[in-house]
Amino acid sequence: LNKVLGVVTRSLITNYEQSERGVNVQWDQRPWFRLLLDLVYELNLPNPALDPIKSGIVSVFGSAFHVVQPLVVPGFSFAWLELISHRMFLSNLLLLKEQKGWGVMHQLMIDLLLFLEPHLRKVELTDATKKYYDGALRVILMLVHDFPTFLAAYHLSFCNVIPENCVQLRNLVLSAIPKGIPLHDPISRNFKIDRLPEIAKSPLILSNVVGPLASFKNNLDGFLKNQQPADFLGKLVPLLRKGGKSELDAPTINSLVLYVGMQGLARLQNDQIASSLGRTPEMEIFQKLMELDDHGRYISLNAIANQLRYPSSHTHYFSCVMLFLFNESKDEGVKEQVTRVLLERLITQRPHPWGLLITFIELIKNSKYQFWSHPFTRCATEIEKVFENVARSCMLPNGVQIAADGDAPQ
C-alpha cells in the first residue's frame, strides 16, 4: 500500500506541476480525488482480515495526504480537505488504540492551517478562500463535537498557526472540552473556581512545548529554580525575536508562557495561587513581557488567554495571572490591552471558552479591580455600549444587570 500510494502521490504532483507549466492539459483534481477516496473507502471497510494492520493502513493514507498537502498542490486543496475529513479516514484514524493516529491527524491539521494562514491575513477574502475557510470550520466543529480531547491536547500547536485576526477560529479550538469534564455555571452565587475539583487536574498537553525554548531553556530553568543567572530577565527579550530580526516570534512566546505557567503550578498549590502569585519568578517573567511594545504585549496577553479553557489547573492559574497583571500594573495601557484581548474574544459568535468567561466576569464583578472606573471603558459612547452589551451577554442567564455607571453589582 505504501508503494502504491507513493506512485499515486508522485504522479499527482507531476501531473499538477506539468499543468502549471502548460505542458499538460488543464489540471483536474476530480479523478485523483475519486481514486484516493475509493482506496480509502475500500481499505477501511469492516474486514476481519485487515483488522491486524488497520492502524498501518490509515497511517499510510495520512502520510500520503501530508505529501500532497495544499501548500504543495494548491489545486488539490478542496479535494484534500474532503479526503482528510471523510468519516472513513478521520474517524478510523482518531479511534486507533493508544492514540496511535493522533500524531498523524495533528500534522494534517497543521498542514490545513498553514495553508489557510496567509490567505486569512488579507483584509479582503476571495470567494474561494471563504468557501475553504467554511470547510475548515466544519472540520474543526466536527472535532470539537466528536474528538474534543484530541483538539484540546494540541491546542498550543494549532494556536501557533492561527493568525491573530482569526478570533472565532481560535475560540473554537480553545472551546474543546474533553468528555467527562463538567462546566460549572460561572454566574451562580456560590461559584468559586478554587473550590472546583477539576482545578486539581492538569490538562493533557501533547504539543511540543519546550521545542521553541531549546536555545535558552537551561537558563530559563535556572532562573525559575533559584533566579540564576541574575541577568536572565535583562537578556530575555532578544531571545524571543525571530533569528536576527526585530520581529517577535509568537510561537516562542506561546511556549514560554505555557511552560512558565506549568512550572509555576508545580511550585504553588491551587489554594495559594491568588495570594502567592506576585512573589514568584514566574510572575517576574510575565511582568517582563508586559514591558514589551504594544504588539509584543498583545502577543503575550493572547498567549495567556489561550490557556483560559475548560476547568483545569491551567485555567485557574492563568486566570489569576491575567487578573493580577490587570490589577497590579501601573501602566493604564496594560489594563486596556488585557481588556482588549478578553473583549475581542467575547464579541465574536459563540462558543466562548469557559475560562475566558470566568475571567471576564470576575474582572467586571469584583470591586477589587474597579473595572468600570477606568477611562478606557468610558472613552466613547460606542465603546461604553460594547462593554455593557458584552457584560450583559456574559451575565444575563441569572438576570444580573450591569450598572450604567460605577461598579457592576455583585
State how far the Cα of 288 lies from the Cα of 284, in Å rounded to an integer.
Answer: 6
Q: Which of 211, 123, 110 is nearest to 161 (CA)?
A: 110
Task: Return the amino acid letter for 3.
Answer: K
Percent of the chain's residues with pLDDT above 90: 50
Q: Of the given ranges (146-155, 245-254, 263-272, 375-384), which has the lowest mean pLDDT?
A: 375-384
pLDDT digits (tens, 9 = 90+) for 301-324: 999 999 999 999 999 999 999 999
Q: Is the pTM for the entire model greater than 0.85?
A: yes
Q: Of the given ranges (30-39, 190-199, 240-249, 348-357), which has the lowest mean pLDDT?
A: 190-199
Q: Of the given ranges (19-23, 47-51, 65-69), which has the lowest mean pLDDT?
A: 47-51
Residue 402 predicted with pLDDT over 50: no
Q: Which of 26, 346, 19 is nearest to 167 (CA)?
A: 346
Torsion (CA) 263, 269, 271, 277 in degrees, nearest 10: -40
Q: Once rounded to an integer, what is the mean pLDDT over residues 62-66?
A: 94
pLDDT at 199: 82
pLDDT at 410: 32
Give DSSP secondary structure letters for 92-135. HHHTSGGGTTHHHHHHHHHHHHHHHHHHHTSSSPPHHHHHHHHH
355 alpha carbon, distance to own chain's centre: 13
pLDDT band at residue 76, thresholds of 50, 70 and 90? very high
Q: Which of 203, 212, 293, 206 is nearest to 250 (CA)?
A: 212
Looking at per-residue pLDDT, the higher value among 231 and 408 belongs to 231
Grid coordinates of 54 = 488497520
Look at the domain 195-398 and name its fold. Answer: 1.25.40
Looking at per-residue pLDDT, the higher value among 185 and 224 belongs to 224
Q: Once rounded to an integer, what is the mean pLDDT over residues 347-359?
A: 89
For the chain, give every domain's residue range: 2-146, 195-398
Tell me how crowded residue 42 is: count the other CB atoms within 10 A of its CB.
10
163 alpha carbon, distance to own chain's centre: 10
Q: Of the given ranges (232-236, 265-269, 369-373, 374-378), which has the lowest mean pLDDT?
A: 374-378
Torsion (CA) 223, 227, 232, 236 in degrees, nearest 10: 60
- Do residues 110 and 166 make contact, with C-beta atoms less than 8 angstroms apart? no
pLDDT at 381: 64
Classified as helix, coil or strand, 227 is: coil
CATH 3.40.640.10 fits 2-146, yes or no: no
State how far the Cα of 129 lies from the Cα of 114, in Å rounded to an integer.
Answer: 13
Looking at per-residue pLDDT, the higher value among 400 and 122 belongs to 122
State how far the Cα of 73 lies from the Cα of 56, in Å rounded to an integer.
Answer: 25
Residue 269 predicted with pLDDT over 80: no
pLDDT band at residue 50, thresholds of 50, 70 and 90? low
Q: Is 246 exposed, middle or buried (0-12, 13-18, 19+ CB in 10 A)?
A: exposed
pLDDT band at residue 34, thresholds of 50, 70 and 90? very high
Grid coordinates of 121 = 491575513
Q: Once rounded to an integer, what is the mean pLDDT over residues 273-277?
A: 71
pLDDT at 261: 94
Tell me how crowded residue 401 is: count the other CB atoms within 10 A of its CB.
12
Residue 69 predicted with pLDDT over 50: yes
Please list, residue by residue across 49-58, b when 16 or more beta carbons sit within 10 angstroms of its beta carbon and e when fewer do: eeeeebbebb
Percent of the chain's residues with pLDDT above 70: 87
Residue 64 predicted with pLDDT over 60: yes
Whole-number average pLDDT of the chain? 85
Q: What is the DSSP letter of 189?
A: T
Residue 395 predicted with pLDDT over 70: no
pLDDT at 406: 36
Looking at per-residue pLDDT, the higher value among 407 and 10 belongs to 10
Q: Of the given ranges (66-70, 252-256, 277-281), which has the lowest mean pLDDT?
A: 277-281
Q: Is 363 exposed, middle or buried (0-12, 13-18, 19+ CB in 10 A)?
A: buried
Q: Once rounded to an integer, what is the mean pLDDT over residues 344-354?
A: 88
Q: Once rounded to an integer, what is the mean pLDDT over residues 201-210?
A: 94
